[in-house]
A and B are shown apart, each in its own frame.
Chain A
Amino acid sequence: MTPLLIAQLVLTLFVFVALLSSAAVMVYVERKVAALLQQRFGPYLVGPSGLLQPFADVIKLMFKEELRPGAADAILFALAPMISATAAFAAFAVVPFGASTTFFGLLSEPMRLQVADVNVAVLVIFAIASMSVYGIVLAGWSSNSKYSLLGGLRSSAQMISYELSYGMALAGVILIGNSLSLTDLVNHQAGTWFGFIPRWSVFVQPVGFLIFMTAGIAETNRAPFDFPEAEQELVAGYHTEYSSMSFAMFFLAEYINMVTVSAVATDLFLGGWHGPFLPESLGWIWFLAKMGALLFFYVWMRWTLPRYRYDQLMSFGWKVLLPLSVINLLVTAAGVLYFGV
């Protein structure tokens, strides 16, 4: 075992644990921010200012009874939450979150802060996102309950519809960066214009960024697009019949997907780990700060905007967002051809 291989294994394990704990942190942040916006206290009993609340939630979920409806398809019912959670974890594997580093001279050659350096990373994220639909569809179908089935169908229709705009928004950045590798795309955004404006893609692709974030919220089934779990109509949507740890897996997948979308948006549009004042070896601090800001935006949106109607969601996706993203792509392509970026 070479030191580089050991470092790679440690990094993989670290990312796994970090994603797990990011879900716990996000649950706490979500409840605290919601309380702030609604002028309540939020969780404050468990631990100092409620900091241990996520652990209490996890322990409660672990000791709940695992229930399965009698008419459910046993194999698929067990498989569906696993697909959701696996897809959520797998997508983060190709996301770089810092510049190459030797860990203060511990390693002989620099290592990239990324689990797997794939040269088609953008497409891999897209492929894994399209796999996560199966978890939800199968959960809805195998539960053999009308709420679950309707929730599953709605959710997959929504994810398939918004995936198109999502991909088109990505394509704009890919055209400018001229690469499918996330590391290359981030490095393309290093430096500044006129000495003070950072060369981030968001300044070249503002429309693309808006489309990406909107479609990203719809992809992760979050409010104001949280139709799969529209409580008034569908009880809890595709995970109505799930309890205990299999419910926790869906819950985990939702939060990790949020983290992944924010991380990808940071890499593609906000310059990744590039930023002023800090040396490149500490770039991951910038990365975390930008990702945190986007995650806060996610939570902020959820507790500010009411849920749309389902037909509004569909007509917005197909009649507004998709044409807009196509026009954005065409203009970008023309610009790249004309200016030769």
Chain B
Amino acid sequence: MGSDALFYVFGAFAIAASLLVIAQRNPIYSVLLLIASFGALSGLYVLLDAPFVAVIQIIVYAGAIMVLFLFVVMLLNAPREDTQHDERVLPLLREGPTRFGGALAIALVVELLWALTRRPQAGSFAGAGVSSVSAIGRSLFTDYGFAFEATSVLILVAMVGAVVLARRDPVIRNRTATRGGR
């Protein structure tokens, strides 16, 4: 019974925080609410007997990735978003990207309704044995070894790319310029 009550608490918290993320006008508050939502999700993972995934969720998403988000928002000093369009017109009838967002929202609602009306299938969920640290490590480095290594190479490429793009070294720029001229 206790874990049922906790499920509803965490679930309600996650949904409320996620809704507030998009309802906020101030981007800093959006980032913080997203962190809160990740925290609630991590609580749900604990209830599913997956403490490792729960902690990794906090370390990777709430800890590492959201700090970068916060930095970007803070350093760009993103202003409060103010609506420039007429609030009385429905999103789907508005000009520009808002229309696309409205279409996506409708698709999301339809998908959610479809998912919620289906009955849960027994046995489709992997057991708690997979959630132990050694089991996760083993399957990550054997069954999913290729995907794991390919992802790490992808991240490395992205990192090198970011360094190259951000670098403002006149020597290197001149060298590329002459190479391009040849």
Contact = CB atoms under 8 A, between A and B. Distances in A.
B132 to A, nearest CB: 9
A259 B35 CA distance: 27
Given A76-B28, A120-B133, A130 B51 contact: no
Interface stretch (A38-46, A121-129, A222-230): A121-129
A130 B58 CA distance: 8
A137 B74 contact: yes
A93 interface: no
Nearest to A156: B67
Contact of B51 (A119, A131, A134, A160): A119
Given A120-B51, A134-B35, A180-B133, A126 B67 contact: no
Interface in A158-208: 160, 180
Interface string B24-63: 0000100010010000000000000001100110110011
Contacts, number: 49
Interface in B125-182: 133
Nearest to A167: B59
Given A120-B52, A141-B28, A180-B133, A134 B58 contact: no
A118 interface: yes
Contact of A123 (B35, B55, B71): B55
Given A76-B28, A160-B67, A130 B52 contact: no
Contact of B59 (A73, A76, A127, A160): A127
B70 interface: yes
Nearest to A83: B32
Contacts of A130: 58-59, 62-64, 67
Given A76-B28, A133-B67, A180-B133, A123 B74 contact: no
Nearest to B39: A131
12 contacts: A119-B51, A123-B56, A126-B55, A130-B63, A130-B64, A130-B67, A134-B35, A134-B70, A137-B67, A137-B74, A156-B71, A180-B133
Nearest to A127: B58
A126 B59 contact: yes
Contacts of A137: 67, 70-71, 74
A250 B87 CA distance: 43
A120 B46 CA distance: 11
Contacts of B35: 134
Interface of A: 73, 76, 118-120, 123-124, 126-127, 130-131, 133-134, 137-138, 141, 153, 156, 160, 180
B32, B59, B62: residue with the most chain A Cβ atoms closer than 10 Å: B59
Given A119-B51, A141-B74, A180-B133, A134 B56 contact: no
A127 B32 CA distance: 16
B35 to A, nearest CB: 7
A120 B74 CA distance: 33
Nearest to A118: B51
Nearest to B77: A141
A123 B28 contact: no
B128 to A, nearest CB: 12
Nearest to B68: A160
Contacts of B64: 130, 160
A324 to B, nearest CB: 21
Nearest to A79: B32
Contacts of B74: 137, 141
Contacts of B28: 73, 76, 141
Nearest to B52: A120
Contact of A127 (B63, B67, B71): B63
Nearest to A133: B67
B62 to A, nearest CB: 7
A134 B67 contact: yes
A131 B52 CA distance: 17
A138 B70 CA distance: 9
A115 to B, nearest CB: 16
B140 to A, nearest CB: 15
Contacts of A124: 55
Given A137-B74, A141-B74, A180-B133, A127 B55 contact: yes
A64 B104 CA distance: 53
A109 to B, nearest CB: 21
A123 B52 CA distance: 8
A120 B63 contact: no
B133 A131 contact: no
A137 B74 CA distance: 9
A120 B55 contact: yes
Given A119-B51, A120-B51, A120-B133, A131 B58 contact: yes
Nearest to B58: A127
A134 B58 CA distance: 13
A12 to B, nearest CB: 18
Contacts of A131: 58, 62-63
Q: Which 6 A-B pairs have the closest CB atoms?
A: A130-B63, A127-B58, A123-B55, A127-B59, A120-B51, A141-B74
